[in-house]
Structure 1
């Protein structure tokens, strides 16, 4: 073989792969050894990653819906809450001079400081203080400790509860927050003055700050306040006699609370209070407080905004996020399984092509 013929053969061999001549078929290039195995391994790894992603997404969806949502619905164990109600033109009795003061500003401020109850993470212990004042002059003050079930919002008889230092009292019913998603037409709601839980009755829907809420009303006909006896000059009660008499505080109350139903948060409040002093035996009485107390607009706006943000979060973890994550996880699982089926079919076809034909 000459050098020239060898070069011609080499070109012919090269051209045999590049082209088969004009109009002729172009043969496939031979694959490098192992390329098919590498492609199969990459595809298999991709399917495994997709399947793991599907498991993660579906598990996350279930956790959000059935655990995280339930935890977010609960009342926070640690909380600092304020309920400030005011009336710019109220009337009250100055018990120092026994004079009635009319057209005066009166504020009823309730502050709550909460922390985990001892031994139970599903309860929160609230220390509540309520002060009634006018222009910095205190008119009444009371402290209270109550343990609250974080899921139901109701009082639990436990852990040193008291009202005004009375540890024999047993508190019951809702304390301030409704259960998340609660839509009953009636709830018992504890009043620390009366030491009872008259019903809060649903009174229709309303809108506060653009947010849909449920309005509840608690009505208390004139009732004697327990442990409210105090000595009062008889003449100040209209009695024609010297000395003092024992008088009790009597309360007539209409309390209205506007509740965002998804979160159970109170976003607005109003209390129409009429309090009097009455002797234990006799017909005389004296006005103690007459006020139409309402929540300040800026405080209501702040509570409405917080409730709206919480409502959006709850709706997200209850439905939007679980549905989205579940759908994405399902799609990933279908893609992985479909890829596995295709790979299995391709492998079976490849095995069939490589088997030697039987001799005739």
Structure 2
């Protein structure tokens, strides 16, 4: 019984030892990467903000703005290349008190699922412009490999990659995060149809009474708190400023100024999402391979021990127990009688015929001769 059980344990142990590196180096590569089918809505809020109300032609101050960003993965846009993920982003900025839309932004990114780096394919665009060439990182930092260093992050407003500099560590809802700060200098982003008056632009004299062509400029300080285990941002702080300026730079007007911060509810959810992905990563990279390695060794050694160990007391019991002995031909069996002796091996007692022997008791009383006793014993 021990030998078959030992062989089964040897087989199971060998299987686990072969499975451990497979999980670590192959399965982990399939699990530890950005998902294709992704959906998430995140809200940022800015208090005491101001923006230019186009309908009323004036700047509103002291308002509360909300920015709702929705990210959704397009599983078919990568044209069958499962190493590439394609995510669409839509952001609506609105006045929370008036429920009035202030701005609407859209873009699509394509990126390597293992590294998080942006690639130019699959209809990637900013505001519908597919001519934009993206580089660096987008919505995610390096997947499962964030270091204490600077990273180029693509800014959709200025359409270029700018460094996000490592600025220290900070705990967000119990999670230790890396803080990165990206400075976006004032950059002309577009020509617009808006024709404000010189007075609105801060000009005086004759220039104050006429309208002017203007360009839009954008600047910001963006702080991002990232889970270093997964590359998932858990909090954003976007201090943005958008202006319009005349071509000669003499006239300027602020059309949006706000500090948008991820609301607490979504910060907590992002932390939970990061913890879930981190657990899956640890499971396939560390826990399962270690369990397979240790369990495989234990089963393998135990199986070898049971397969090679002799049954307890095997030869000794066979040679000395229960009246069994080894015959001269090597077989086991009951001991035979000595040559010429009775089956019991003990010689018969000798004495006068018919005097207390079993043979004498069995003889007929009519024939008390030694010959009759001898026949009775041998019959």
Assess same fold via TM > 0.5. Answer: yes
Whole-Å separation in 1 of the counterparts to 2:225 and 2:255: 27
Q: How does 1:1-360 map to 2 (within 5 A)?
A: 42-116=1-75, 117-135=78-96, 136-178=99-141, 179-225=143-189, 227-235=190-198, 236-239=200-203, 240-241=206-207, 243-342=210-309, 356=329
Task: Say if 1:230 and 1:343 are closer, same or farther in 2 by CA, change over 3 A.
Answer: farther
Alignment check: 8 A CA contact 1:275 1:288 kept: yes
The alpha-carbon distance between structure 1 residues 140 and 49, as it changes in their structure 2 partners (threshold 3 A), is same
Shift of 1:88: 2.2
The whole-number CA distance in structure 2 between the counterparts of 1:348 and 1:73 is 57
Is this contact kept in 1: 2:16–2:295, CA < 8 A? yes
Q: Name structure 2 gaps, 5 residues minimum.
A: 319-325, 331-379
In 2, Cα distance between equivalents of 1:170 and 1:80: 25
**Residues 136-176 of structure 1: CA deviation (Å, up to 9, x unaligned):** 21111122121121111121111211111111111111111
| Closer, same or farther: CA 343–154 of 1 in aligned 2, 3 Å | same
Q: Any idea what the Cα deviations from partners look like across 1:267-321, whole Å, max 9, x if unmatched?
A: 1111001111111224110011111111100110111122123222322322122
Task: Tell me, in whole angstroms, the C-alpha distance in 2 between the residues paired with 1:93 and 1:144.
Answer: 24
Partner SS for 1:305: helix
Cα distance change, pair 141–50 in 1 and its aligned pair in 2 (3 A): same
Q: How far does residue 326 in structure 1 lie from its aligned partner after superposition?
A: 1.0
Contact 1:216 / 1:257 at 8 angstroms: preserved in 2? Answer: yes
2:322 maps to none
| TM-score, normalising length: structure 1 | 0.81
Name which one, 1 or 2, has greater alpha-carbon Rg: 2
Q: What per-residue deviation string (whole Å, max 9, x for no partner) do you get for residues 310-346 of structure 1? A: 22232232212221221011111111222333359x9
Conserved 8 A contact 2:3-2:308: no
Q: Which residue of 1 aligns with 2:363?
A: none
| Whole-Å separation in 1 of the counterparts to 2:88 and 2:247 | 32
SS at match of 2:74: strand
Unaligned runs of 5+ in 1: 1-41
Larger deviation, residues 110-119 vs 251-260: 110-119
TM-score by length of 2: 0.77
Q: Are the aligned partners of 1:231 and 1:244 in contact in 2 as well (CA < 8 Å)? A: no
Shift of 1:354: 8.2
Name whichever of 91-100 and 188-197 sits farther off. Answer: 91-100
C-alpha distance 80-348 of structure 1, shift in aligned 2 (>3 A): farther
RMSD: 2.4
Shift of residue 348 of structure 1?
A: 11
